[in-house]
Structure 1
Amino acid sequence: MTADPGGPARLRVRPVQAAYRQVAEQLRDQIVSGALPSGSRLPSETELGSMFGVSRSTVREALRQLASQHLIDTTRGATGGSFVAAPDAGLIADNLGGSLGLLVNSRSMSVDNLLEARLLLEPHAARLAAERATAEDLDELRRTVERTGHLDPDEGFTVHWDFHTTLVSISGNPLLHVMCQPINVVLSGRMHRDRVARQAWEGIDEDHAKVYEAVAGGEADTAETLVREHLLSLRPLYERMED
């Protein structure tokens, strides 16, 4: 069957985004690509409106969207304006943690998904830490181990997580920190600490001490293996989160 030459054409179309989204997307692309480096001052709202052919209110909404994503900072006053934000790995990790938490709550992602990702990332971070950690890094890691030894499980709950955060941070790769920290934030927030027996906390302390010794000794293979075994041993505790 041939198309009717006099009939309406069958077009493939994409929905047109709202104007402010198009403005925000183009500015975001230039920020992410580095065309607009950190600290760069954006043109005024009036100037941006003229460049994009849109109203000031449209530009203002686009800037609000970029600010909510922590891509720009806006200040008021004679010397104010909108500036490309300086990157903050901790802030990025916190924002990702909130988003991951929403995905887990909505059942779009499972705790098991988080554990799989953690097993891919953290053992390798331990290997890098054993290869790269400075004396100051090792002091910081040792302090997290020492602080939990005499604490009640409830009081030491956060410090136990500090060990893992510190371990990843001393790997020397900030991207690993950005990737691991949101996962740990969600897992720690969902763990039922009252379901963890005191003996289990003692075992966790022992595992952390062994990992520290391997990292401090520069034993990369051992550090990687110990962290993987440690995380696998914790799996039953995390599986109870789904109950």
Structure 2
Amino acid sequence: MASTDTAGFVVQQVLRPREQVQKQIEDAIFNGTFAQGEKLPSENALAEMFGVSRPTVREALGNLVTAGLVRKIPGASGGSFVREIDAKAVGQMLQDSLSHVLQLGSINIEEVSQAREVLEVPSARLAARHRTPEQVKAAREVVEQQKSIALKSPKVSIFDQQFHQIIAEASGNRLLVAFVEALHACTAPVTYLQLTPEVGHNTILQHAQIIKAVEAGDESAAAEAMQEHLSYVRRMSRDFPAQDK
């Protein structure tokens, strides 16, 4: 009588052809068989290699594009290429995903404010430890530019984004930079401030206080100054406008 003992037997789910193709290409990217920046074989070649139809390959590649592992370049010299995954690419993927969430009206300014605290308070603390003189100078220049523009100038949002990005870069953590940059690029949180001369003045003073602590290398003071700034912005903000459905 045959043994029914299944100890040590691990069942793997049988995948559909598209999933099989996608997984094998994905595995080849992760193990370096297909290097970053390398052009993949054509759809015809892949279909022949896997013994599947071109639509199956096209669907698998489309999912890899959505996952951020592959990019498609049109034209005679184009094709499917393995994406070069670095902090900048991660930031761009985050921006794209966050933009979609915003367009769907799935988050509100309160959630953005909470996310900023999670990211930017420790970012300021790290900036006080790792900042360079060039980064301190750049942040100070942004603050000086903020002082010279009108409240309704489109540069208000640009300078705010630049300041917070410099602080993130000074942290020395590229993933933090990617998250902070994506959050600011998509939500432009300063544009939701109820901007008055007093609010504008206070936010600039808070920026100056943050960079003062960062320059001094005072990690606790930098974190506290960033927390105070973000809490103030949170109190003074209105929610995102309703999205058109």
Calculate the TM-score normalised by the size of structure 2: 0.77
How far apart, in 2, do the equivalents of 1:70 and 1:98 lie?
A: 10
Specify the alignment match of 1:234 in structure 2. Answer: 233
Contact in 1 for aligned 2:71/2:82 (Cα 8 Å): yes
Identify the match of residue 59 of structure 1 among 43, 53, 57.
57
Specify the alignment match of 1:200 in structure 2. Answer: 199
Query: Unpaired segments of 5 or more residues in structure 2?
Result: 1-12
Contact in 2 for aligned 1:191/1:241 (Cα 8 Å): no
Q: Structure 1 pair 35/112, CA: closer, same or farther in 2 (3 Å)?
A: farther
After superposing the two structures, state which structure 1 stretch, 205-214 or 110-119, moved more. Answer: 110-119
Other structure's SS at 2:237 match: helix
Specify the alignment match of 2:98 in structure 1. Answer: 100
Specify the alignment match of 1:122 in structure 2. Answer: 120
How far apart, in 1, do the equivalents of 2:189 and 2:196 lie?
A: 18
Q: Structure 1 pair 45/241, CA: closer, same or farther in 2 (3 Å)?
A: closer
Structure 1 residue 81, shift from structure 2 partner: 4.5
Specify the alignment match of 1:183 in structure 2. Answer: 183
Query: Aligned letter for 1:219?
Result: D
Contact in 1 for aligned 2:88/2:178 (Cα 8 Å): yes
Structure 1 residue 93, shift from structure 2 partner: 2.4
Structure 1 residue 208, shift from structure 2 partner: 0.5
Contact in 2 for aligned 1:210/1:226 (Cα 8 Å): yes
Query: Aligned letter for 1:205?
Result: I
Specify the alignment match of 1:214 in structure 2. Answer: 213
How far apart, in 2, do the equivalents of 1:233 and 1:116 lie?
A: 12
Q: Structure 1 pair 198/98, CA: closer, same or farther in 2 (3 Å)?
A: farther
Specify the alignment match of 1:171 in structure 2. Answer: 171
Contact in 1 for aligned 2:157/2:190 (Cα 8 Å): no
Calculate the TM-score normalised by the size of structure 1: 0.78
RMSD in angstroms over aligned alpha carbons? 3.0
Specify the alignment match of 2:81 in structure 1. Answer: 83
Instruction: Provide Cα deviations, 1:212-235, integer angstroms capped at 9, x if missing partner.
Output: 111111111111110011101111
How far apart, in 2, do the equivalents of 1:113 and 1:33 lie?
A: 37
Identify the match of residue 37 of structure 1 among 26, 35, 38.
35
Contact in 2 for aligned 1:141/1:166 (Cα 8 Å): yes
How far apart, in 2, do the equivalents of 1:105 and 1:82 lie?
A: 28
How far apart, in 1, do the equivalents of 2:159 and 2:32 lie?
A: 37
Query: Aligned letter for 1:154?
Result: K
Other structure's SS at 2:126 match: helix
How far apart, in 1, do the equivalents of 2:55 and 2:199 lie?
A: 57
How far apart, in 1, do the equivalents of 2:99 and 2:41 lie?
A: 36
Query: Unpaired segments of 5 or more residues in structure 1?
Result: 1-13
How far apart, in 2, do the equivalents of 1:103 and 1:80 lie?
A: 30
Q: Structure 1 pair 199/25, CA: closer, same or farther in 2 (3 Å)?
A: farther
Specify the alignment match of 2:10 in structure 1. Answer: none
After superposing the two structures, state which structure 1 stretch, 89-98 or 179-188, moved more. Answer: 89-98
Contact in 1 for aligned 2:109/2:239 (Cα 8 Å): no
Other structure's SS at 1:83 match: strand
How far apart, in 1, do the equivalents of 2:144 and 2:190 lie?
A: 25
Contact in 1 for aligned 2:91/2:179 (Cα 8 Å): yes
Contact in 1 for aligned 2:165/2:177 (Cα 8 Å): yes
After superposing the two structures, state which structure 1 stretch, 40-49 or 27-36, moved more. Answer: 27-36
How far apart, in 2, do the equivalents of 1:122 and 1:24 lie?
A: 37
Query: Aligned letter for 1:230?
Result: H
After superposing the two structures, state which structure 1 stretch, 146-155 or 57-66, moved more. Answer: 57-66
